[in-house]
Structure 1
């Protein structure tokens, strides 16, 4: 008797060359998913895809070009995909420089567009296609920085707050349409983006730890996760500080 093999699920990773994206792509590939890695520079994305195929024998990894700032390309990009993926991971983002953003509108614009405008417009198009199909998973990597505006990174934080609100709205809209929306708030992660920072060990995750948490949350259809549980308490305290006192703090 011939038993048909189960069809492999597929994941599209947007911003697929970051440390978090690579770790998550590896985790899903190890679990038997096909993975498509997108990147602004196609040769770099192809190199990452080739490396991933070597690390996971038998995996099916492809690479495509996508610039999160080129919003006009989003619909044609989605139309060009051979199949609509089962899940999309939004892993693109730009921390930027707060001091620079305060004085240079071009830099502030770049941070806001990279973390909010481009990601939300792309996920909005993907959401409608998932809704029409009646299934799909949207995974958005937001940030604890969006839980409350702080002087040290409020331009980045404001953009991530907008992303979190957008994901919440998608979740509310699509809950009855068979589409799962997951918001991920990693906190500190040891990556190239945080290299050189003095990070507290108890609040700092490794990329692989984050990737495993994302996969588990997708399997359990969780709504919002803080990768290190301590972050939930930390941010609850920060959100609870009265505004009069908050203005006097340097956070």
Structure 2
């Protein structure tokens, strides 16, 4: 690993929301944010070793805060810590990925139906801000910024959803879903297809068409999983 970079502020808020970093010390927050960002964005590949000594040297700290940071990353499914083995970037098998997407599809179906049935018009209108960001990223060819646009979109979706129980269930899947989504959206041509689907989803919300919203949301999940299934082994196999 290279020397620690400055904390990537563009993702700090998203990671803090997902991981509950508010109660952690500044150094632990910085280590978690930097390492999580590098894992999500693919800088640190699956099975990359993350020893306490090496991480401690990189961030100029002792083993105790390193272990704390790695423990938080393990909880989110980004790091694997096993007996008699060095900590490493977690790998995911295709069956595990399919399970994750099946759960996500079911939960987002609940969110879509709930939004159509009970979310106020002004709440649904909030989805246009991340949609504009995603549109710009498509035009500029910035797949990474497009990914972060989808992160904002999904967070707003959960916030405006009248069903207050489903959001925490999605969060419980951890940041491993960020890693999968970033990977899939990096495949050439994916952002254009994805943007069309997200635009249709917002239209279905605004038209109060629950069946269409659920169908479009399911299509987003199916297409994303198909891309990952096709490309994952060649790039990120254990």
Q: Give TM-score, length-normalised by structure 1.
A: 0.31
Quick check: which one's helix share is greater? 2
Q: Give TM-score, length-normalised by structure 2.
A: 0.32
**Does 1 or 2 have the higher relative contact order (CA < 8 Å, sep 6+)?**
2
Quick check: which one's strand share is greater? 1
